[in-house]
Structure 1
Amino acid sequence: MASATRRAALSRGGCGLAAVLALVALACPAFPGASADESSVAPDWHVVSVTSLLPSAAVCSSARAPNSSLALSVVHRQGPCSPLLARGAAPSHAEILDRDQDRVDSIHRRVSSAAATAITASSATNPARGSKGVSLPAQSGLSLGVGNYIVSVGLGTPRKDFSVVFDTGSDLSWVQCKPCNDCYDQQDPLFDPSRSSTYAPVPCGDPQCRGLDSWSCSASGNKCRYEVVYGDQSQTDGNLARDTLSLGPSDSLKSFVFGCGDDDSGLFGKADGLFGLGRNKVSLASQASAKYGAGFSYCLPSSSSSTGYLSLGPASPANAQFTAMATRTDTPSFYYLDLVGIKVAGKTIRVNAAVFKSTGTVIDSGTVITRLPSSAYRALRSAFARPMRRYKRAPALSILDTCYDFTGHTTVQIPAVELVFSGGATVSLDFSGVLYVSKVSQACLAFASNGDDTSLGILGNTQQRTFAVVYDVANQKIGFGAKGCT
């Protein structure tokens, strides 16, 4: 009853409580999470100082990675923590969101066409592969988007370091290699196979070659040639190879299978390549499972001026809530989970449970904004907008249509949003997962509609921020541990 009274007083803008909340907000140590004391004052609300809404443009603050497992530092590729130099050419928020929609469209196309593609491939390609090893048509993969996160890894003997995008929606890992027929401009020197004593090309008859979506035999040397065309028409072609992958000062993965790209183009920015964490056998997560265990986890930082981590191997944070990892045979590389409900300020929004069940939901590290079925998004937007009427509305930002102007405010009070998954796991989003802030005068609800009730739902990386997101592949479940980056 007391909690309900506090929520009611807050929604009316009660002066006494507002003063207390303002003091709490000013004590918050950093954007965008609330202080430890906030939950005792208003558990269903976030209270944040307006001056902390935007990340620092120049300062990088490090996170503490798990002590018990191998961990790589994760940074947003456009932030001050990024080793990439092209910060001056960073895309605008509108461009990020527009390209995010391209990625979402490509995921939806991939899912909707998967069954037809599988039928065509099974009837036409297996005999050809067995007898001739002919090239297969390239299948369009995911649009890369621009909101991706990067990690630094070492490759070859002696080790050379590279900054690569990591992506749970992709399988094949690759870097650009010498000699290169046509490569985009990247941050570091290209990988030179001739200077690595542990490099070896993968032959056409190797199962890792024939397990790819698209492969062919080279004109000479019987090398396996791969091709990946992403949904935004970015592409990489090259030789499939094996070499030593260094994942820390003393940890390495021998005979790691990856693509040595020599014909690459597209929206890769200055990144040296891409490492896939999908469910296919060629992904980094699958190849590392024999040594580190079947699974991985990561924590995406609250802002671009902070760091997170990527850890290979099983993990189980003490505070993690787990939900079953769903499986779909039409797109087996994706990680699915069952979203069953959403709460705003502690109250469940009214959405027919069949809406979430019929579409399904994929969790994706490369999609920026979570996409919901149309009826679910409308209910969320309505429930969120009601207590936000105290703030002036701001223009829409690309795909985000519910935005607010916080100019002139010292603190802001935002209703908490919780995602409810099958099995009862309830994840209360960090403030940075509720609002997408382009500037103080334009802070938007960080969700978007699919435009219908039939397209796949996608849990984007904005909503995953600050959580230890655990992919327990061995036990087929996904977990979320709050305050995972601290």
Structure 2
Amino acid sequence: MATLNYSSTFLFLLLSTVLHVLLLGCSGKVEAYRFEEMTANLQRRSHVVSLSSLIPTGVCSTPAQGAKTSSGLLQVAHKNGPCSPLKEGNAKLHDFRQLLIDDQARVKSIHSKISNKDPLEDSAVKVPATSGQSLGTGNFVVTIGLGTPKKPCTLVFDTGSDLTWIQCQPCVGQCYSQQDPIFNPSASSTYSNISCNSASCNQLQSATGNSRPCGSTCIYQVQYGDGSYSVGYFAADTLTLSSSDVFPKFKFGCGENNQGLFGTADGLLGLGRDPVSTVSQTSQKYGKLFSYCLPSSTSSTGFLAFGSQVGTSSKAQYTPLLTDSNNPSFYFLTITGISVGGKSLSISQSVFTTSETIIDSGTVITRLPPAAYSALRTAFRQAMSKYPTASAYSLLDTCYNLNGYSTVSIPTIVLHFSGGANLNVDQSGILVQASSTQYCLAFAGNSAATDVAILGNMQQQTHEVVYNVAGGKLGFGAGACS
């Protein structure tokens, strides 16, 4: 079986360093330091990846214990993986082509929203929605409690959405099939509908662009770029995140007419910046501070934390968190450059300022401006020139046939942000398995230079991503989850 040996460059550096240390008679401490420094320099240039680590397994490597009991800390799992409370089956893990199709639908929706275009006007009517398939608006789920007595609700969490909503009885229109029992408002002693002429209802209409007429109670409706939708009452009930973190009169959508590509999740947890989002509604306790770590594999878990960071936050590197007045819900960042294999790519700053950049938990594959992606692709292909190429796979155009290889050496990819923050992309976010022998670069280019760039969730994996919304900054802390 073919494997990659260490490069001659590595051997030269190793021998040179050892010889230098011996000749100078340096102490053992200095010798260890120089060796570690040299190894770190090599690691900044390449990763040696076991291909088996990129293949999903059917066994959860972290015991699925549900939400942790500490304040504001929830367990995160890939919604289709073995650690998920949703038992949708692992067969969908291998439907990677459909995942990319759904991902592209989400990206087009984001681009349309930010550019103030609406190519899918009234899409809930025009686009047929199919229940039970993967949703392009998020891949990771958490379980929260809602109502009195509290009922567990497993929700996709999404930084690109504001309104939290769940399916509710009775389904006066139609409801898709979900795993948990559908929430029954009449069984909760703390449930109430929000009146139509209230400030909260006006706030909702401003946030969602909802112009639907209502009588005595406030009605919400949300539509997604793939034609999925949810319609129902804007309501309030008790939200429970942990035994000590309980929020009375939490405002959410109680959907009685829902259809689309939501899998078997109960609904969606909105983590955008609008006043109706979970981040804003819990701000008195958490101060608009939250973080998450997305696992590198569908067979392991991460976390979503409110009000405090976990693990690596003290070592996080921060970049300014920007706001676009035309799109105030999204989290904007500024990319300043990209390095591949330890070398900075020659990309004009205007490439990134022309497009702007957002970070999004629901987009899977990072989208870069065409010129930036072209430079990244060229450098990556040069570093991978010894491996046999394969045909493109959906939107991924840089692929390799690695049949017969057990390990490969891939170049490091570092995304540089304003303020000096660097995101050293985990190896799981660089090379992705598309088929049994086909592995592809997990980045894609936008169609136009003006399309907003999107930092997707695959490139965020294993990092604690810290959203200090009140402080106007976002951080990356490496190695926070596996």
| Residue among 123, 130, 155 paired with 1:164 | 155
Cα deviation, 1:358-417, whole Å, max 9, x if unaligned, reads: 110000000000001111101000001101011111221111010112222232111000
- Conserved in 1, the CA contact under 8 Å of 2:230 and 2:257? yes
Q: Name the SS of the counterpart of 2:89 in structure 1.
A: helix
Cα distance change, pair 390–15 in 1 and its aligned pair in 2 (3 A): farther
Q: How does 1:247-258 map to 2 (within 5 A)?
A: 247-258=241-252
Q: How does 1:191-202 map to 2 (within 5 A)?
A: 191-202=183-194
Cα distance change, pair 451–13 in 1 and its aligned pair in 2 (3 A): farther
Corresponding position: 1:57 with 2:51:
no
Letter in 2 for 1:52: S
Cα deviation, 1:306-337, whole Å, max 9, x if unaligned, reads: 10111112438121000001110111100000
Q: Name the SS of the counterpart of 1:186 in structure 2.
A: coil
Corresponding position: 1:241 with 2:243:
no
Cα deviation, 1:439-459, whole Å, max 9, x if unaligned, reads: 451111110010221111000
In 2, Cα distance between the equivalents of 1:39 and 1:149? Answer: 32
Aligned residue number for residue 483 of structure 1: 479
Aligned residue number for residue 372 of structure 2: 376
Letter in 2 for 1:372: L
In 1, Cα distance between the equivalents of 2:53 and 2:371? Answer: 33
Corresponding position: 1:306 with 2:300:
yes
Letter in 2 for 1:104: V
Quote the offset at 1:263 in angstroms: 0.5
Letter in 1 for 2:184: D
Q: How does 1:63-74 map to 2 (within 5 A)?
A: 69-74=71-76
Aligned residue number for residue 86 of structure 1: 88
Quote the offset at 1:99 in angstroms: 1.1
Q: Name the SS of the counterpart of 1:113 in structure 2.
A: coil
- Conserved in 1, the CA contact under 8 Å of 2:462 and 2:481? yes
Corresponding position: 1:362 with 2:358:
yes
Unaligned runs of 5+ in 2: 15-36, 127-133
Q: How does 1:89-128 map to 2 (within 5 A)?
A: 90=92, 92-113=95-116
- Conserved in 2, the CA contact under 8 Å of 1:172 and 1:282? yes
Cα distance change, pair 110–90 in 1 and its aligned pair in 2 (3 A): same
Corresponding position: 1:148 with 2:139:
yes
Quote the offset at 1:85 in angstroms: 1.9
Letter in 1 for 2:401: D
Cα distance change, pair 363–93 in 1 and its aligned pair in 2 (3 A): same
Quote the offset at 1:41 in angstroms: 5.0
| Residue among 411, 416, 438 paired with 2:434 | 438
- Conserved in 1, the CA contact under 8 Å of 2:68 and 2:75? no
Unaligned runs of 5+ in 1: 1-8, 19-35, 118-135
Cα deviation, 1:254-293, whole Å, max 9, x if unaligned, reads: 1100000000101111010001000000000110111122
Q: How does 1:14-33 map to 2 (within 5 A)?
A: none
Q: Name the SS of the counterpart of 1:303 in structure 2.
A: coil
Aligned residue number for residue 278 of structure 1: 272
Q: Name the SS of the counterpart of 1:483 in structure 2.
A: coil
- Conserved in 1, the CA contact under 8 Å of 2:80 and 2:90? no
In 2, Cα distance between the equivalents of 1:480 and 1:361? Answer: 16
In 1, Cα distance between the equivalents of 2:186 and 2:171? Answer: 13
Corresponding position: 1:292 with 2:286:
yes
Quote the offset at 1:59 in angstroms: 2.8
In 2, Cα distance between the equivalents of 1:400 and 1:205? Answer: 49
Aligned residue number for residue 124 of structure 1: none
Quote the offset at 1:66 in angstroms: 9.9
Q: Name the SS of the counterpart of 2:353 in structure 1.
A: helix
In 2, Cα distance between the equivalents of 1:200 and 1:84? Answer: 28
Aligned residue number for residue 450 of structure 2: 454
- Conserved in 2, the CA contact under 8 Å of 1:217 and 1:223? no
The normalised TM-score by structure 2 is: 0.85
In 2, Cα distance between the equivalents of 1:41 and 1:347? Answer: 12
Letter in 1 for 2:330: F
Count of aligned pairs between the two proteins: 439
User: RMSD across aligned C-alpha pairs, in angstroms?
Assistant: 2.9
Q: Name the SS of the counterpart of 1:96 in structure 2.
A: helix
Quote the offset at 1:69 in angstroms: 4.9
Q: Name the SS of the counterpart of 1:151 in structure 2.
A: strand
Cα distance change, pair 223–37 in 1 and its aligned pair in 2 (3 A): farther
In 2, Cα distance between the equivalents of 1:41 and 1:62? Answer: 35
Letter in 2 for 1:192: N
Percent of aligned pairs with the same amino acid: 49
In 1, Cα distance between the equivalents of 2:440 and 2:455? Answer: 17
